[in-house]
Amino acid sequence: MSNDERDVILVVDDEPDFLRLLKRLIQSEINCEVFTATSAELAFEILKNNHVDLAFVDIKMPEVDGFQFLEYVRENYPWLTVIMITAYGCIEVAVKAIKEGAYDFITKPVEQDVFLLSLKKALERTKLLRENLRLRRSVQTQEAFRNIVGRSAAMQRVYELIKVVAPTDMTVLLRGESGTGKDLLARTIHELSHRKNGPYVAVNCPAVPEQILESELFGYRKGAFTHATQNKKGLFQEANGGTIFLDEIGDIEPGLQTKLLRVLQEKEIKPLGDTKTRKVDVRVIASTNQDLEKKMKEGSFREDLFYRLNVVPITVPPLRERKEDIPLLVEHFLEKYSRELRRPKKRVSPEVMEMFMRYEWKGNVRELENVIVRGVLFSMDDEIGLQHVSFQNQNGKGIFCTHVDLSLPYREAKEAVLREFHQRFIGNLLRRTGGNISQAARMCGVERQALQHLIKRYDIDVNTYRNS
């Protein structure tokens, strides 16, 4: 076994001679590293700086005794196996220790065979516990990322950053365009943190008027303003022990920025109308789609607040920079909305997928999701074709996208565009009217006879829409 793979054992006792005796005994039997500590305080330092597998701890020690040590280990090092050491005549105390989480106990003076048997069984238990913990954490990580789809290199970098920062209490600033999924990433960070069992409070900052946002965040006392008829907790207090997500923080006004800075610096809030501050234990995750550096130069965003928020910045890539994820996202949304809308599982045609790969997706993943929802909703068969999808242009108008071979002669290309347009436009009208030509003509503002002519010219089967 290499040095890196050796077991690490900690012995804690206030008798130096006994520590030396146990260290020699352990190392004579197994190849391992043994740390010794004459107090629980020294042992805590060893635990912070080393990955210990097994600890032998004396029950009776000055200042911090074995029971207090056991409680600390149970909360901070759940994989660590602890064996208590006690003197004859204190067996009932040792039994109590086992009930509180110790694996076993040995008595002084130590019987070598009994001690070594307990040692080997305890090390085996530690290995099983650690593997079990590793598997549970792996499952928790997979579950936390369940709603985030993407295998591109750009998204893999985001995942790795999240895995590193999530277990800490560091403030995270998620940066990226609207629709990239910053809210999903914020929740994932919370679910992978030690605060996962605490509250998760999301605040859409631009959605709340400035004069109300302050009272929502920090709360207020009865009588603080006209309609304050009772005390109200703020969202920071609601999130105590958990995480607060400040979505689009770049939109908050300078006055509120100052008060938010105090929360980040002092970990305390002051409700409106109150004379006292209140401590809060909250992890802050913020997001923005704005250029905060530009806003700082313009004087509309405080530099000190920016640096408090920008402890760990994570930039979420736009969809156009990870187009290899589009097929995965399409499949994810098809499955999700076929189930939610109670439709048979659908697929997209090769032409639609090719168009998806060419499109710029200014609205990012959210825009793709909306397109898939409409496709699932309006397609009457198992395949979503070009006639079932539409996008938004810069003016917010719905537009159809055509798929035309640009190598065709002008007249043929023009006819192909017109045919596709009429088939999709008129088909959409007939679908909405159940195949009623008169009603479809009124909706699009043409004469019924003219619409019948177009239906015949472009080979549109009205009966298909009547049946559907």
Extract the tokens encoding 176: 């990226």
Which among 215-229, 329-343, 375-389 has the top mean pLDDT?
A: 329-343
pLDDT computed for residue 394 by the predictor: 42
- Of 391, 367, 388, 377, nearest in space to 336 by CA: 377
Query: In a 10 Å sphere around its CB, with 0-12 CB exposed, 13-18 middle and 19+ buried, how is residue 122 labelled?
Result: buried
Q: Is the pLDDT of residue 305 over 90?
A: yes
The mean per-residue pLDDT over the stretch 306-318 comes to 94
What is the per-residue pLDDT for 264? 92
Which residue carries 């802050």 as its tokens? 284
CA–CA dist 187, 247 (Å, integer): 12
Q: Which residues of 84-94 are buried (b: 16+ CB within 10 A; e: fewer)?
A: bbbeeebeebb
Per-residue pLDDT at 237 = 92
Percentage with pLDDT > 90 across the chain: 31
Query: For the chain, what are the domain ranges?
Result: 3-138, 153-317, 321-467
Confidence bin at 3 (pLDDT 50/70/90): very low
* pLDDT at position 9: 93
CA dihedral (430, 436, 437, 439) positive or negative: negative
Closest CA to 353 of 321, 378, 329: 329
The identity of residue 190, as a single letter, is H
The model's confidence at residue 171, banded by pLDDT at 50, 70 and 90, is very high
Q: Is 275 helix (H, G, I), strand (E, B) or coil?
A: coil
Name the average pLDDT for the chain: 85
Range of weakest confidence among 47-56, 151-160, 207-216, 398-407: 398-407
Is 259 in contact with 218 (CB distance < 8 Å)? Answer: yes
- pLDDT of 398 higher than 70: no
Please name which of 164, 219, 167 lies closest in space to residue 192, comparing C-alpha atoms: 167
Give 3-138's CATH code, choosing from 3.40.50.620, 3.40.50.2300, 1.20.1270.10, 1.20.1340.10: 3.40.50.2300
What's the average model confidence in pLDDT over 408-418? Answer: 73
Q: If you average pLDDT over each of 40-54, 108-122, 280-294, 367-381, which comes out highest?
A: 280-294
Across the range 159-165, mean pLDDT stands at 91
pLDDT at position 90 over 70: no
* pLDDT tens-digit series, residues 346-361: 899 888 888 888 888 9
DSSP letter string, 278-304: EE---EEEEEESS-HHHHHHHTSS-HH
Phi-psi region of 445 (alpha: psi -120 to 50; beta: other; left: phi over 0): left
E strands, 170-282, in order: 172-175, 200-204, 219-220, 232-233, 243-247, 268-269, 278-279
Task: Give the pLDDT score at 63.
Answer: 83
Q: Residue 53: which of 134, 129, 113 has the closest Cα?
A: 129
Q: What is the pLDDT of residues 257-304, one digit of tens each?
A: 998 998 999 899 888 887 788 899 999 999 999 999 999 999 999 999
Going by C-beta distance under 8 Å and a sequence separation of 6 or more, which residues neighbour residue 403?
A: 351, 354, 355, 386, 420
What letter represents residue 89's amino acid? G
Q: Which of 64, 19, 22, 21 is nearest to 39 (CA)?
A: 64
Residue 389 phi, psi (nearest 5): -120, 145
Position 420 pLDDT exceeds 50: yes
pLDDT greater at residue 39 or residue 225 = 39
CB 34 within 8 A of CB 27: yes
Q: Which of 135-144, 205-214, 237-246 has the lowest mean pLDDT?
A: 135-144
pLDDT at 396: 46
Q: Tell me if 153-317 shares its fold with 321-467.
A: no
CATH topology of domain 321-467: Helicase, Ruva Protein; domain 3 (1.10.8)
Predicted model pTM: 0.60
Q: Quick one: average pLDDT of 310-322?
A: 94
Tell me which of 138-142, 425-429, 460-464 is least confident: 138-142
Across 192-249, where does the E strand assignment appear?
Answer: 200-204, 219-220, 232-233, 243-247
Nearest Cα to Cα of residue 126 among 44, 7, 36: 7
Site of tokens 């006639």: 387
Least confident of 135-139, 217-221, 278-282, 388-392: 135-139
Predicted local distance difference test score (pLDDT) of residue 139: 60
- Coil, strand, or helix at residue 151? coil
CATH value of 153-317 in 3.40.50.920, 3.20.20.140, 3.40.50.300, 3.65.10.10: 3.40.50.300
pLDDT at residue 84 in the model: 87
| pLDDT number for residue 320 | 92
The average pLDDT across 64-88 equals: 84
SS3 content of the chain, % helix, strand, coil (to 5): 50, 15, 30
- How far apart CA 123 and CA 323 sit, in angstroms, is 49
Q: What is the pLDDT of residue 157?
A: 92
| Residue 348, both tokens | 């997209």
Do the strands 278-279 and 268-269 form a parallel or antiparallel pair, or are they unpaired?
antiparallel
Query: Cα–Cα distance between 5 and 49 in angstroms, integer?
Result: 16
